[in-house]
Structure 1
Amino acid sequence: MLLRRYHPLLTLALGCALAGSPGRAETTLPEVWRQVTTFFTKEALWAWEKLPPPGDPLSAREQDFCRAVILLDHQPLTESKLDEAEALLRDVAGPRDELAAAARYMLARSQQLYRQQADHAAAAAIYRELSAAPEAGPWGDLARVKLALLELYVLPAASPRQRIATARALLDGVVEPDARRDLYRLLARATLFYDLPAQAALDDLEAAEIIGGLQGQPHADQLVQLFELSLEFGRRESAARYLEKLRAEHPRDVRAWALNEKLAGRPAPVRATFSHDP
């Protein structure tokens, strides 16, 4: 679902935009956002329709943005809903402020992911604009990450090396640590995907690990990759360190035993075979 990916930033940027008065009986925009960010999309749409008329242009834009986000997450997602959502987002995106940046970002996501015929070039153009806009705030960094994905795998390029070089240039100017970490992870994955020299992938994964912030399975997977690449390049001390970190932070990950056997130089066990002869 759309909001499962974006609701923390939406809450940060807009959830407290309007302070609801405890004595008011009518629905407030923060109450609608709470429905949105807890994935009650249908209820959020009902609540939005009960909002009082906005009292000023900014409040009107905030309400329109909220409705557009709800429509993008409201199932079934039809072309008519997309048309309405994108029209609202274009209206909200007029002024140059952070709310407009959020609207442009969501417009790019709609054109990239939700249309039956994706318009990757149009989405990339919006991402590029956002990544260069000082008022975009965290939306600019998010746009860099999404643009990197398009540059690495979708948009025309002369070669895989050129794809990675173009995406790597997006690291310049990134403010949010999580966005920088995610860019490093994308670069490492693309390096391995295109079977380019793996030392660059190791360097990028190490940079991502230093930034930190990953949790759960993605972090465990990253530690396993770091172990494997470190061992491949003869950096046994680094491999041992990543193995210990895997054991300490993800004690239930069953891969730790196999990695320990590999580090010790013991051959991996071979699957047993059984005869079915009588």
Structure 2
Amino acid sequence: MSIHSFEQNQVAAFQRDKSCALLEKASEYFSSAPSCPRVICPLEGMVIPSIFRQIFCKFQHRGLCIGEFHGDAAPKRLLIDYCDRFVKWEIKTLFLENIVKEEVQKDLDRGLFSLRVQAALKKLDQKYHISSPDTYFSVVKKAVDAGLRVVALDTKASFYAGSNCCDFDESRISVFNYQAFEIIEQERGSGNFLILTGVNHGSQLRGSLIPGLSEMLQCAFVIVKDVRFAQEPTVLNQPTSKELRERLYRHEEGSVHSIIALS
């Protein structure tokens, strides 16, 4: 074995150990955590930007969790289009899944859209086959330019858990939700915040014992989805696709949370 291969194996073993430790902590936490109620935030029939005013002004929520399918353009476009207005609702922080904290957070904390940050975002867009202009790259650039603080919710350990545990979904959900909750609690500060994450993490899935971030943080949750028939931004309270119907959350009313449908 070459020195390079040996070093790679050592790094992999180190990350595996960190990932296993994180999964163990998450499992222990969720095994004894109290039940988290769903946050009710009726939005049906509303239009953007009234949705943001409803959430942050009328209901006075501190946060909004946006659930997405990672390859969809709609959630990125929503953030890009309304980023300049977020200051009106005292939104100061944007939390993002799929960005690795160890790789980019120091630059983001300094408000830098550095080459290192750009490379990580381009790689993420390529992974989900997202083309310009509604990309993760554009979201973060717009957020940095608007003066928002951008905070990564993933780490190398959480990425390793998601991609290497045999029980992929449950392990990823457990590790990420636990870690993201801790990071957001530490980093959200005094202002309001937004979270962009996958639909699996936004609210507790049916059949799962793991609460979603919206329940853990007691913040509003909406799904932003590409929908072909949407002539303009539309808020729905029923699943728009087979994907969402199969991913029903644990709440009995037969609907998922409000869905912002964008063509």
> TM (normalized to structure 1)?
0.30
Q: Higher helix fraction: Structure 1 or Structure 2?
A: 1
Q: Higher strand fraction: Structure 1 or Structure 2?
A: 2
Higher RCO (CA < 8 A, seq sep 6+): 2
